Structure 1
């Protein structure tokens, strides 16, 4: 079985100085901005992710 995924960057300041939080599973603390946050995996999307980068494309 694989290890659990960990965030690489703080969602607030973008720094990489993260540590697991004391509040339980999925909680992280950023030493750079002194914020705590929690991550939770919600599940896979049924249809997948569609990107909006093709909005300006026109087919002729």
Structure 2
């Protein structure tokens, strides 16, 4: 994950759903909605990789490959 605070662009205000957003200096990483005048920050705390469909398929393929490797040994 990138260390940059502005690595992701926010497209919609989480309060009024307007798109007229501008970055602000303080607090660091905040956005200002010009429609409702709110200043907010959005942060990602974690990604729950256990529920990503591609990741589940990858895990199953890895387990299958390990079982095949063990059975041929």
TM superposition score normalised by structure 2: 0.55
| Structure 2 counterpart of 1:16, from 19, 30, 40 | 19
Task: Kindly tell me the number of residue pairs found equivalent between the two proteins.
Answer: 49
* Greater relative CO, 1 or 2 (CA 8 Å, sep 6+): 1
TM superposition score normalised by structure 1: 0.65
- CA drift of 1:23 comes to 1.2
* Larger proportion of strand: 1
* Larger proportion of helix: 2
Task: Give 5+ residue unaligned stretches, structure 2.
Answer: 53-73
- Partners in 1 of 2:7 and 2:33 — Cα distance? 18
Task: Give 5+ residue unaligned stretches, structure 1.
Answer: 50-60
